């Protein structure tokens, strides 16, 4: 153990005095100022995105990201940093997918597709068949086996443009991607092409997870996303002539589970060390871009929360952890593992905050909690006004923190501006240049400010099993 010199001790006493005597307004101002003038999130993201790149679960890059973030957390002088083992699925894309539309006279038009995560491959020479467009599972059912059998099903329901929250528009479409193959297989379809979950018309196909659930292997049909521009083209060509054929070839494969890790760092609480506040994002990403928005941003913001607390002179009463979850995209194994271990160890997780909605200008938070806790949060809202943080609503939190839910704790998700998110989501243009430094840093500061408040005041004491905490 290091012996502190008197001058150093005095310094810490001074800092400690300053913080305890500072108003919440002042502490929060320091946090934002630190993030905007001295933040680390952007540098970390630069490394994750440009030196490592896409971090699909089970890939070499994912393991590089584990090692890098562990090393960076080690440098921060936290009380503990460790890796939490977790087995993760390993799906590999194989060689680049290839697809074209063929007219009856043999003319072909190449289109942009990518395999959906979890999909099986096509036969090695590819798959060519007639293709039929539907907008939803009801249309599929109405067409029935007679019209579907032997064909490729093309799901082409676009995201609803007049929903303000683009995640709602996503929620209204994503069943085509996740369950499209499963449903189409029931009617004898041989493959599935899904319009990319993208509000823009452009040439990028967007991947994402799909599942077969308990479908037997011989019923599992290959499934790919098509870019919105090519989806529109395909739809138009089908309207002109429904006898056109679609060809696609993909060699993706599900391998055996492999060992990976959640990366965890902790500042141990000075007064209530068994009350845990966690902040996190997911370290894995899809493989097409470099995962800067999904979820490199959440990872580096969460890391910076602990550093910003220290830099702002906050000495937490409760234990604050950053948790970098592995395998959010295609398995959620990291989130489940973290909750499982927390339960085994009887760790009381009072507040968990996730950032997994992109690195855009933060607008506020969505809270999954009881009314008493939500009212407590609403009291803090004026503290955020100078930073244009206005969105405090009840709703979902995040996939990785979800398994930590109890009756009394608070889960939350950072809510950045959502307008551009699906331009990049799961596509090859989810890259570092699409992240603005200030927007990223504002997000980190906003998260830090909320963590600071929950640490200082605890979760609403009345509902928290009667225990009064100040």
Which chain residues interact with a second copy by CB under 8 A? 32-33, 36-37, 161-162, 164, 166, 199-200, 361, 363, 386-388, 390-391, 417, 419-420, 423, 436-439, 442
Using alpha carbons only, give the angle 22, 28, 34 rounded to the nearest 5 degrees: 110
CB atoms within 10 A of CB 163: 15
Token digits for 316?
A: 């937490």
Cβ proximity to a second copy: between 36 and 129 the closer is: 36
- Of residues 269 and 416, the one with the C-beta less far from a second copy: 416
Distance from C-alpha of 335 to C-alpha of 71, rounded to nearest angstrom: 21
**Closest C-alpha to 448, from 390, 384, 396:** 384
Shortest Cβ 228–a second copy spacing (Å): 12
Minimum distance, C-beta of residue 320 to a second copy, in the bound complex (Å): 23
Nearer to a second copy, 22 or 419 (CB): 419
3-state secondary structure the chain: CCCCCHHHHHHHHHHHHHHHHCCHHHHHHHHHHHHHHHCCHHHHHHHHHHHHCCCCCCCHHHHHHHHHHHHHHHHCCCCEEEEEEEEEEEEECCCCCEEEEECCCCCEEECCEEECECCCCCCCCCEEEEEEEECCHHHHHHHHHHHHCCCEEEECCCCCCCCCCHHHHHHCCHHHHHHHHHHHHHCCCCEEEEECCCCCCCCCCCCCECCCCCCCHHHCCCEEEECHHHHHHHHHHHHHCCCCEEEEECCCEEEEEEEEEEEEEEECCCCEEEEEEEEEEECCCCCCCCCHHHHHHHHHHHHHHHHHHHHCCCCCCEEEEEEEECCCCCCCHHHHHHHHHHHHCCCEEEEEEECCCCCCCEEEEEEECCHHHHHHHHHHHHHHHHHCCCEEEECCCCCCCHHHCCCCCEEEEEEECCCCHHHHCCCCCCCHHHCCHHHHHHHHHHHHHHHHHHHHHCCCCCCCCCCCCC
Which one from 328, 347, 354, 441 is the annotated catalytic residue? Answer: 328
User: Closest approach of Cβ 37 to a second copy, in Å?
Assistant: 5
Distance CA 165, CA 337 (A): 30
**Least Cβ distance, residue 171 to a second copy (angstroms):** 17
**Separation between Cα atoms, residue 424 and residue 229, nearest integer Å:** 15
Minimum distance from residue 114 beta carbon to a second copy (Å): 23
Which of 308/332 has CB closer to a second copy? 308
Decide if 328 is catalytic: yes
Q: Which residues are catalytic?
A: 328
């Amino acid at each position: 153990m290091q012996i502190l010199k008197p001058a150093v001790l005095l310094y810490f006493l001074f800092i400690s005095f300053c913080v305890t005597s500072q108003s919440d307004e002042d502490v929060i101002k320091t946090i934002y100022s630190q993030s905007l003038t001295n933040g680390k999130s952007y540098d970390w993201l630069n490394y994750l995105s440009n030196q490592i790149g896409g971090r699909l679960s089970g890939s070499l890059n994912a393991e590089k990201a584990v090692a890098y973030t562990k090393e960076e957390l080690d440098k921060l002088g936290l009380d503990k940093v460790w890796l939490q083992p977790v087995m993760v699925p390993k799906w590999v894309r194989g060689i680049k997918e290839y697809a074209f539309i063929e007219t009856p006279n043999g003319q072909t038009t190449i289109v942009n597709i990518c395999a959906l995560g979890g999909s099986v491959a096509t036969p090695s020479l590819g798959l060519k068949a007639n293709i039929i467009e539907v907008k939803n599972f009801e249309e599929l059912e109405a067409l029935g086996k007679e019209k579907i059998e032997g064909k490729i099903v093309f799901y082409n329901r676009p995201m609803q443009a007049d929903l303000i929250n683009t995640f709602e528009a996503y929620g209204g479409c994503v069943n085509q991607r996740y369950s499209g193959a499963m449903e189409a297989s029931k009617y004898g379809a041989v493959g599935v092409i899904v319009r990319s979950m993208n509000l823009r018309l452009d040439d990028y196909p967007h991947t994402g997870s799909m599942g077969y659930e308990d479908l037997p292997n011989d019923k599992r049909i290959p499934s790919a996303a098509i870019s919105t521009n090519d989806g529109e083209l395909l739809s138009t060509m089908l309207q002109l002539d429904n006898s056109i054929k679609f060809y696609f070839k993909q060699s993706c494969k599900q391998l055996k589970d492999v060992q990976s890790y959640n990366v965890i760092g902790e500042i141990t609480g000075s007064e209530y060390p068994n009350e845990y506040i966690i902040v996190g994002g997911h370290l894995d990403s899809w493989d097409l871009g470099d995962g800067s928005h999904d979820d490199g941003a959440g990872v580096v913001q969460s890391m910076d929360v602990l550093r910003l607390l220290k830099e702002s002179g906050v000495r937490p009463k409760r234990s604050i952890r950053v948790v970098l979850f592995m395998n959010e995209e295609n398995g959620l194994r990291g989130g489940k593992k973290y909750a499982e271990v927390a339960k085994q160890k009887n760790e009381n997780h009072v507040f968990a905050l996730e950032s997994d909605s992109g690195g855009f200008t933060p607008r506020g938070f969505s809270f999954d909690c009881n009314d008493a806790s939500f009212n407590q949060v609403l009291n803090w809202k004026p503290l955020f006004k100078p930073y244009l943080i206005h969105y405090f609503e009840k709703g979902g939190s995040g996939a990785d923190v979800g398994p930590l839910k109890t009756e009394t704790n608070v889960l939350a998700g950072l809510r950045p501006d959502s307008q551009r998110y699906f331009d990049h989501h799961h596509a090859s243009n989810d890259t570092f240049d699409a992240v603005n430094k200030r927007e990223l840093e504002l997000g980190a500061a906003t998260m830090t400010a909320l963590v600071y408040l929950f640490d200082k005041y605890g979760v609403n004491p009345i509902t928290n099993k009667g225990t009064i905490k100040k």
